[in-house]
């Protein structure tokens, strides 16, 4: 029997898998799960108890599967203050120091928050897009000018930088070969 399963487009993307394995703070409803859940799944013997329930750090892949039973506590990296800073001038921020998987985790947060806080998810998604748009020109420029190392870049930006360098090398090789062909044609005439 041939069985197929639909998966996300980035199901096998190693960077996405690593990003989803990172943890964030969240609060599980008090009566959502027994204490065995926290010990067996998260390796936490006694989760912190607060007024809203059990406060734990949980990986994004787990939160996605139990998001109706918990509330995500958005970190400062993606909070309103940082969104304002990034929207104003993202070019000078060291995203690698903030969060190496800044864009992947940000997109995951948007997906997780869109039902609980649609306005917050929308603002975060606009911030991510604005941040990438502001930084893209500089990334391409340093790739085209032949720099070997780019600093202050998140993983997604590093991929863009490496692709830019590769395409520049391909174009340079093509131009070199094209000029050799023209030179050979002149010699034949």
pLDDT attached to residue 182: 67
Q: What would the mean pLDDT of 6-20 be, rounded to a whole number?
A: 71
Q: What would the mean pLDDT of 114-129 be, rounded to a whole number?
A: 94
Q: What would the mean pLDDT of 125-136 be, rounded to a whole number?
A: 94
pLDDT tens-digit profile of 170-179? Answer: 988 888 887 7
Scan for tokens 């059990």, then name that residue: 54
What pTM does this model have? 0.77
pLDDT tens-digit profile of 15-67? Answer: 777 777 888 888 888 777 776 777 777 777 667 777 778 888 888 888 888 87
pLDDT tens-digit profile of 72-118? Answer: 889 899 999 999 999 999 998 888 888 888 999 999 999 999 988 99
Q: What is the 3-state secondary structure (H, E, C) of the chain?
A: CCCCCCCCCCCCCHHHHHHHHCEEEEEECCCCCCHHHHHHHHCCCCCEEECCEEEEEEEHHHHHHCHHHEEECCCHHHCHHHHHHHHHCCCCCCHHHHCCCHHHHHHHHHHHHCCCCHHHHHHHHHHHHHHHHHHHHHHHHHHHCCCCCCCCCCHHHHHHHHHHHHHHHHHHHHHHHHHHHHHHHHHHC
């Amino acid at each position: 029997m041939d069985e197929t399963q639909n998966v996300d487009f980035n199901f096998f993307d190693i960077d996405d898998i690593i990003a989803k394995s990172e943890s964030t703070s969240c609060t599980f409803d008090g009566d959502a799960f027994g204490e065995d859940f926290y010990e067996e799944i998260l390796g936490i013997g006694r989760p912190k108890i607060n007024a809203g329930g059990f406060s734990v750090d949980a990986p994004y892949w787990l939160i996605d599967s139990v998001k109706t039973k918990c509330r995500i506590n958005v970190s400062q990296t993606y909070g309103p203050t940082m969104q304002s800073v990034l929207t104003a001038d993202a070019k000078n921020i060291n995203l690698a120091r903030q969060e190496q998987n800044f864009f992947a985790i940000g997109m995951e947060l948007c997906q997780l928050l869109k039902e609980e806080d649609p306005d917050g998810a929308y603002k975060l998604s606009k911030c991510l897009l604005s941040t990438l748009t502001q930084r893209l020109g500089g990334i391409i420029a340093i790739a085209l000018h032949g720099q070997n190392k780019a600093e202050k870049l998140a993983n997604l930006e590093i991929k863009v930088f490496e692709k830019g360098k590769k395409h520049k090398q391909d174009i340079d090789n093509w131009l070199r070969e094209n000029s050799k062909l023209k030179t050979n044609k002149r010699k034949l005439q």
